[in-house]
Structure 1
Amino acid sequence: MIIVAPGQGETTIRHSAAGRIMTIPGPTLPVDRRYRYFNDEPALHALLDRLDPDVVEVSSPWGSPAMVARWRGRALRSLVMHADPLSAYAYRWFGGIASRGNIDRGFEFFWRHLRRLDQQFDIVVSAGASLTGRLAAGGMRKVQTLPMGVTPGIFTPALRDERLRARLLARCGLDSDATLLIGLGRLAPEKRWPMVIEAVAAAGYSHPLGLVLFGNGRERARVIRAAANNPHVQLHAPITDRGELATVLASADALVHGCEAETFCMVAAEAKASGLPLIVPDEGGASDQFVRGQGEIYQACSSSSLAEAIGRFMGSDPKLQRRRATASAATVGSMDTHFARLFEVYANAMRSPASVA
């Protein structure tokens, strides 16, 4: 497997005999200098010519897939929708003043772009049923749902640590009889952490409730301001050690999530594999992860609906819901299974090209 990415220069990093990372020069994004993008189509085509791959997989819905679509190579072409720009941007920006249908009409140019890619690529891969449904409704005809999964052997309810749970609640100024919610993710506008904090504060009036949020990002100052007057909300840096993350998840009472623009919601899948009930919006990849009786679902983008959902969760039997989530944790799919299915789809498509039309 070879990853081709825009970089500062032309480099090759070989990690093993089976895989490497290659870069060609690409400028940084003006809106986020941490990222680069392809802007030299002839250089990209020349590199693909040299590599002569069997499959080219593009993981961006922006300019890169159009460049790959114009390449004259023999490879099977796959567009993987790892981003949902309409939900992350258009619906979030204009959802308060216009209906979803009107927004889609206003962004018809982007839908035309996606439909054109759908025609040019052999396969479009979606990680969740909700995204597949929206793409199909928008006129895309080659979308296949192949859910991702968690890294095997890491996340399990067996890692639950009651002493860790008590320490996390103590950081929130609460005793161990309180409810511990965990939030994980980038501090970015589409994650809606201020909305989550507002809802937690409202729900906390009727029941001792603590929120520990792990994350970092450009919205950090705004999130800190949102939590400034609530000692029961604690913000921490991201957990980089996967084993530690798995222990923290298994030791909480529920995961709370605010983003309706997820394509799969890896955080929710990892929480499910850790035996955690989910409190998630009713749109996007997080909703695909929801199991009734193992948490609560709420109206996306609504702080009051989220507060009510948290209240319902605490007013029911959280321990029973956790036992149910623990019992079904082992059914969460793995990334190994995802890639086995994905490569099987590619192999079948290469044997029978007509089957992907």
Structure 2
Amino acid sequence: MRIVDVNEFYAPAGGGVRTYIDRKMSILSEMGHELIVVAPGRADAVEERPGGGRIHYVKAPVLPFDANYGLFWDAAPITGLLDAIDPDVVECCSPWRPAWIVGDWQGRAVKSFFMHNDNVAAYPQRWFESVASPGRIEDAFAWYSRYMGRFLAKYDTVLTNGPALQKRLGARGVRIDAAMPLGIERQYFSPAFRDPALRRALLAQCDLPEDSLLLLGLGRHHPEKRWPMVIDAVERAGARIPVGMVQIGIGGDSKRMEKRIAGSPHIRLFRPVYDRERLARIMASCDALIHGSEAEPFGLVASEAMASGLPLIVPDTGGCAEVADPRSSERYTARSAESCAAAITRLYARDRPMLRRAAEVAATKVRSDREHAAELITYYEALVAAKRASARVA
């Protein structure tokens, strides 16, 4: 099967989308399928991948506030590539210009719109939360759901990357045909990588003794991640129990983050760790992952932490809540530092050996990226067969 992904969010220096697509391209090649990405670039170019698959960069203007990414506008270069490649399936995930370009293309392929995020939760819900209730904000932005409905009608199927997004969008009346939960590279994460010496060293950097609770915060410094709320919660809990946090990340809010924790004795910021083995050791050596974003569509970082044998402290809505195992996790009311602090305190009070065993059992159940790819291919094969059968009858 040949799949083309018209992806406005793919960039050489990109983050999660690039990682997901590169890994998916490799897995599909091993399965005997081909994934070709059409992405915006500074110039027209083709990048062949040694393991199979390729990237077609189409010259496009850069995103005004992030030059790492581009914006598709002209349809002809994209539809010309689709005509030439003649895929079995064409995917799209951008709700802007690409959604219409792919939706209006008249090729024989199955057209699949793959939802990877919730723009209403990520932006308006956060921008206006101090002046309106979530329900009022939802009502005010109902036009966006109606807008999506117009281009989604042009697609053969509409997918999400997990049940959280399926529930959230479905509740707004957005058409969703199936959820295809993502997976992680399981081989990189394991409780076996736990290093007591590393844990002691991290606690020492937080100026805490060995019997303290060591939390890990992992993610970019962006308002959507709600790190200030998490920091407030850790400091509140710290008034009652010995707890510290190491936060690994970088982003537009890094300066504000540094200013926020200045003088905090038990919270430390670290630059991103790109070495997978080193990150896996750090992750497995902490006591729990703490996460603040209720807008997270799937929760890959939560899945990686679970595969490392970590308990979770996560909001009660969103992708992280969906993947969290209740026997080894604590949930709190989203956006509430007070509720989050109470969840930290509850986790600290639990029986450590029992909690560790529950977390290690949960680690064995984390979905892999290969399982995701296999389920997606099976789903697409059925759609392709049905569409071709229908074309023969017509």
Q: Structure 2 length normalisation: TM-score?
A: 0.87
2:173 to 103, 125, 139: 139
Runs of 4+ residues over 6 Å off in structure 1: none
SS of match in other structure, 1:182: strand
Native 8 Å contact 1:194 1:222 kept in 2: no
Evaluate the alpha carbon distance shift between residue 104 and residue 311 of structure 1 in structure 2; reply closer, same or farther with a 3 A threshold.
same
1:164 to 179, 198, 202: 198
Sequence identity of aligned pairs in percent?
43
| Partner residue in 1 for 2:225 | 191
| Partner residue in 2 for 1:14 | 48
| Partner residue in 1 for 2:309 | 275
Q: Distance in 2 between matches of 1:233 and 1:355?
A: 60
Evaluate the alpha carbon distance shift between residue 244 and residue 32 of structure 1 in structure 2; reply closer, same or farther with a 3 A threshold.
same
- Report 1:26-105 matches (<5 A): 26-105=60-139
**Counterpart residue type for residue 257 of structure 2:** V
SS of match in other structure, 2:96: coil
**Counterpart residue type for residue 229 of structure 1:** G
Task: Give 1:146 shift.
Answer: 1.3
Evaluate the alpha carbon distance shift between residue 338 and residue 3 of structure 1 in structure 2; reply closer, same or farther with a 3 A threshold.
same
1:25 aligns with 2:59: yes
* Offset from partner CA, 1:80-121 (integer Å, 9 cap, x none): 111211111011112232233321221122111221233111
SS of match in other structure, 2:94: coil
Q: Distance in 2 between matches of 1:10 and 1:187?
A: 32
Native 8 Å contact 1:81 1:263 kept in 2: no
Q: Distance in 1 between matches of 2:130 and 2:266?
A: 30
| Partner residue in 2 for 1:126 | 160
Task: Give 1:46 shift.
Answer: 1.4
**Counterpart residue type for residue 67 of structure 2:** R
| Partner residue in 2 for 1:179 | 213
Q: Which moved more, 1:43-52 or 1:249-258?
A: 43-52
Native 8 Å contact 1:150 1:270 kept in 2: yes
Native 8 Å contact 1:61 1:83 kept in 2: no
**Counterpart residue type for residue 209 of structure 2:** D
Evaluate the alpha carbon distance shift between residue 321 and residue 235 of structure 1 in structure 2; reply closer, same or farther with a 3 A threshold.
same
Count of aligned pairs = 356
| Partner residue in 2 for 1:311 | 345
Task: Give 1:202 shift.
Answer: 0.7
Provide the alpha-carbon RMSD of the alignment: 1.6
Task: Give 1:139 shift.
Answer: 1.6
Task: Give 1:343 shift.
Answer: 0.8
1:284 aligns with 2:318: yes
SS of match in other structure, 1:300: coil
**Counterpart residue type for residue 61 of structure 1:** P
| Partner residue in 1 for 2:246 | 212
Task: Give 1:320 shift.
Answer: 2.1
Evaluate the alpha carbon distance shift between residue 151 and residue 17 of structure 1 in structure 2; reply closer, same or farther with a 3 A threshold.
closer
Q: Which moved more, 1:174-183 or 1:313-322?
A: 313-322
SS of match in other structure, 2:38: strand
| Partner residue in 2 for 1:296 | 330
| Partner residue in 2 for 1:265 | 299
Q: Which moved more, 1:49-58 or 1:232-241?
A: 49-58
Where does structure 2 lack aligned partners over 5 or more consecutive residues? 1-34
**Counterpart residue type for residue 60 of structure 1:** S
Task: Give 1:315 shift.
Answer: 2.0
* Offset from partner CA, 1:268-317 (integer Å, 9 cap, x none): 00001111000000111011012212121011111111111111111222
1:151 aligns with 2:185: yes
Q: Distance in 2 between matches of 1:63 and 1:298?
A: 38
1:114 to 112, 125, 148: 148
Q: Which moved more, 1:84-93 or 1:124-133?
A: 124-133
Q: Structure 1 length normalisation: TM-score?
A: 0.96
Task: Give 1:20 shift.
Answer: 0.6
Native 8 Å contact 2:160 2:176 kept in 1: no
Native 8 Å contact 2:203 2:214 kept in 1: yes
Native 8 Å contact 1:4 1:22 kept in 2: yes
Native 8 Å contact 2:41 2:57 kept in 1: yes
SS of match in other structure, 1:153: helix
Q: Distance in 2 between matches of 1:117 and 1:138?
A: 16
Q: Distance in 1 between matches of 2:362 and 2:135?
A: 37
